[in-house]
Structure 1
Amino acid sequence: MVNLLDMISWLPSIPYQPAGEGYWSPVTSTINWCEEDYYATIYSAEIVNTLTNLLFMYLAFKGIASCIRNDHDRIFLVTYLGYLVVGTGSFWFHATLKCKSSDKRHGSNETDRAPDPWQLVDELSMIYTTCLMCYATFSYNKSKQYSIILAVFLIALAAFITGYYHYLQDPTFHQNAYALLTATVLLRAMYIMETSLRPSLRSAEKKQDRDDAEETDDTKATKEYNRQDRRDGDILKNMWMLIGTGLTIFLSGFGIWALDNVFCSKLIGWRRQIGLPWGILLEGHGWWHIMTGVGAYYYIVWGIWLRHCLNGKHDEYDLVWPNIFLRVPVVVRREGPNKASYQNGSAKKSM
């Protein structure tokens, strides 16, 4: 890495200014990250960690507009609103790095610090948004009584995590709770996707209907079943592509954040050596914002598409994803029976 820094030392750059005081000083948050404070502007404690949240906010508005335009289930509109709260809370928290101070501890010069509302919004809204996706996943096709019990349970769970995290003030607890919730919802959604769309895993009733059509030599019905199998096979392939891409981006963001925490002192030295704007590329927490934001967006899009398929609307909606690397996906309602279906960069006519 040092040799690489020597190789690019010829690039024009602006020296980093010493970390200092700013508009929101002093920094009192219970957590601070590897980005130095107030080196670029007095109005943002961590300028990169602040501005990278704009991607969260952009994707949230894009998702909200898509839900309204394409008549997606309301639960996903609420989820995108929660996603917007995540980005907004993180934006203001990284800009200020403030927390509330309470009375001094008895017999000590130290002051107890309670997390600022924006810090709680930044961290806990991730839990609340995942709980919304958990409700969307586990309540589908269930009775009203089951859905109410699930909603009460998730509200109680979110309240417990909020209270315990506020008491504990340990980021590890928040991270573990978020990871466990996300893994639970993800695995459940994968199971539903496979058992609902994979022809070999369909219910006995659907298999019997197909067998009856073949036995009675119902050519029209058999052709329709064959078409549905091909369609669902294509949908599954593209869904797994969506999941794989989103997970890769999401987990890569976590990996970069972990490296940022471990090698913080070295990264600060490297950033100061190469100067601005190139040092921005070594801001690991900023990359975490970008990559987890995109990964979470992919996850919500997948949930929307899966819900339409579960509702039997396979032929009414398409995944529009013309370029995996340059465009984010969106699920849109077809405007006509011959509208081209764009999936993973290739266009094909919908039958």
Structure 2
Amino acid sequence: MPSWLPSIPYAASDPGGYWDPVTSTINWCEEDYYATPYAAEIVNTLTNLLFVYLAVVGIQSCRRNGHDTIFLVSFVGYLLVGTGSFLFHATLKYPMQLVDELSMIYTTCLMCYATFSYSRSRLFSVYLALFLISLAVFITLYYHYLQDPAFHQNAYAILTAVVLLRAMYVMESTLRPSLKQSEEKHRIREGKSMNERQKEVSRGYDRRDRKILGMMWSMIGCGLSTFLGGFLIWHLDNVHCQRLRGWRREVGLPWGILLEGHGWWHLMTGTGAYFYITWGIWLRHCLNGRQEEYDLVWPTLWSLPEVVRTKQVANGDLKHDGLKKQS
């Protein structure tokens, strides 16, 4: 550590704290109680405040812009994930571990329902809801029986991959002009034809949807790369824990905080999950044929996207050019 850079030495390893003893089945690479006796892993605890903040932003946006209720519920689940993780890392207690990890499963099941139930019959939606509830109960009970974090991690990864791939397929098959069932093809089958004005309107819709697809893929790229980047850092934090702990003690505080990989996992996966839910909101409006009524406001790649009602809709005028990206 350069002598000109001020730092504070770490406290003695595991001095004990308010929530002792540790009862969780897993303990992360951040050392316990080195900063305060009231939080076992202070960085892992405080980085969850991003979840809380983004959940509040998402809930307010859903209420203000009239998004579907399932996404409001998803943001409430997202809030529960952040709150549970905050309590888990602060206490390292097994009940709080369950709140943290199982809320991730439940929130992903909500997004799974939103993805697979769209435009399906009420009977299918009921059966899907019963299946997902049963799956969530099975994962809960089996995980409690095994108490093996690897089971939870694999279950969460599989659920997330299924939901993501399904949503991508629905997006492409519905919005991609070359894949969707166009009005012109429908008219040809019925022995009718479109006049020039109708063809121009149809081409305008196709141009609009191609722009929307481009922006959606940009969102997916940003969100997924952020999420996977967080996963990579999480993996390295687990594999090279002892080396990282040595480096942290060498550089001292507050610089050692930058080497807390699990904290970066919270920040990056929390951001990636927010991108995913926002993408799901916009996709749902497009599936409902309401592209003219909503805009994606996303000023820069480093800002948070939000789906908002267009000014024309707010003023009672539905005439709108489609996609709008503010700069």
* Residue aligning to 1:293: 270
Answering whether residue 40 of structure 2 is matched by residue 45 of structure 1, we say yes
Q: 2:156 aligns with which of 178, 188, 211?
A: 178
What is the alpha-carbon distance in structure 2 between the residues aligned to residue 208 and residue 341 of structure 1? 25
Instruction: Within 5 Å, give how 1:3-152 maps onto structure 2.
Output: 8=2, 10-19=4-13, 20-98=15-93, 115-116=94-95, 118-152=96-130
Identify unmatched segments of 5+ residues in structure 2: 313-318
State the 1:119 CA deviation. Answer: 1.0
Partner letter of residue 90 of structure 2? A
Tell me, yes or no, if the aligned pair for 1:322 and 1:342 is still in contact at 8 Å. Answer: no
TM-score by length of 1: 0.87
Assess, with a 3 A threshold, how the Cα gap between structure 1 residues 217 and 131 changes in structure 2: closer, same or farther. Answer: closer
Tell me, yes or no, if the aligned pair for 1:34 and 1:260 is still in contact at 8 Å. Answer: yes
Answering whether residue 310 of structure 2 is matched by residue 334 of structure 1, we say yes
What is the alpha-carbon distance in structure 2 between the residues aligned to residue 243 and residue 286 of structure 1? 23
Q: 2:146 aligns with which of 164, 168, 179?
A: 168
Assess, with a 3 A threshold, how the Cα gap between structure 1 residues 217 and 303 changes in structure 2: closer, same or farther. Answer: closer
State the 1:341 CA deviation. Answer: 5.4
Tell me, yes or no, if the aligned pair for 1:210 and 1:225 is still in contact at 8 Å. Answer: no
What is the alpha-carbon distance in structure 2 between the residues aligned to residue 209 and residue 199 of structure 1? 14
* Residue aligning to 2:205: 228
Answering whether residue 224 of structure 2 is matched by residue 251 of structure 1, we say no
What is the alpha-carbon distance in structure 1 between the residues aligned to residue 31 and residue 72 of structure 2? 36
State the 1:338 CA deviation. Answer: 5.8
Assess, with a 3 A threshold, how the Cα gap between structure 1 residues 330 and 272 changes in structure 2: closer, same or farther. Answer: same
State the 1:207 CA deviation. Answer: 3.9
For the residue of structure 2 that corresponds to 1:315, the secondary structure is: helix
Tell me, yes or no, if the aligned pair for 1:317 and 1:332 is still in contact at 8 Å. Answer: yes
| Percent of aligned pairs sharing the same letter | 66
What is the alpha-carbon distance in structure 1 between the residues aligned to residue 187 and residue 206 of structure 2? 11
* Residue aligning to 2:257: 280
Tell me, yes or no, if the aligned pair for 2:109 and 2:159 is still in contact at 8 Å. Answer: yes
For the residue of structure 1 that corresponds to 2:157, the secondary structure is: helix
What is the alpha-carbon distance in structure 2 between the residues aligned to residue 285 and residue 172 of structure 1? 16
* Residue aligning to 1:305: 282
* Corresponding residue pairs, total: 319
What is the alpha-carbon distance in structure 2 between the residues aligned to residue 275 and residue 207 of structure 1? 67
* Residue aligning to 1:102: none
What is the alpha-carbon distance in structure 1 between the residues aligned to residue 26 and residue 89 of structure 2? 10
Runs of 4+ in 1 over 4 A off after TM superposition: 209-212, 337-342
* Residue aligning to 2:174: 196
State the 1:72 CA deviation. Answer: 0.3
State the 1:206 CA deviation. Answer: 2.6
* Residue aligning to 1:318: 295
Partner letter of residue 150 of structure 2? T
Deviations 1:308-333 (A, max 9, x none): 000000111111100111x1111111
What is the alpha-carbon distance in structure 1 between the residues aligned to residue 184 and residue 102 of structure 2? 44
What is the alpha-carbon distance in structure 2 between the residues aligned to residue 210 and residue 244 of structure 1? 36
For the residue of structure 2 that corresponds to 1:16, the secondary structure is: coil
What is the alpha-carbon distance in structure 2 between the residues aligned to residue 304 and residue 11 of structure 1? 46
Deviations 1:152-184 (A, max 9, x none): 000000000000000001111000000000000
State the 1:27 CA deviation. Answer: 2.0
State the 1:211 CA deviation. Answer: 5.9
State the 1:14 CA deviation. Answer: 1.2
Tell me, yes or no, if the aligned pair for 1:253 and 1:289 is still in contact at 8 Å. Answer: yes
Deviations 1:286-319 (A, max 9, x none): 0001111110110100110000000000111111
Tell me, yes or no, if the aligned pair for 2:224 and 2:272 is still in contact at 8 Å. Answer: yes
Assess, with a 3 A threshold, how the Cα gap between structure 1 residues 339 and 96 changes in structure 2: closer, same or farther. Answer: farther
* Residue aligning to 2:316: none
State the 1:247 CA deviation. Answer: 0.4
TM-score by length of 2: 0.94
What is the alpha-carbon distance in structure 1 between the residues aligned to residue 122 and residue 270 of structure 2? 32
Give the superposed CA RMSD: 1.8
Partner letter of residue 61 of structure 2? S
Structure 1 or 2: more strand by fraction: 1
What is the alpha-carbon distance in structure 2 between the residues aligned to residue 294 and residue 190 of structure 1? 19
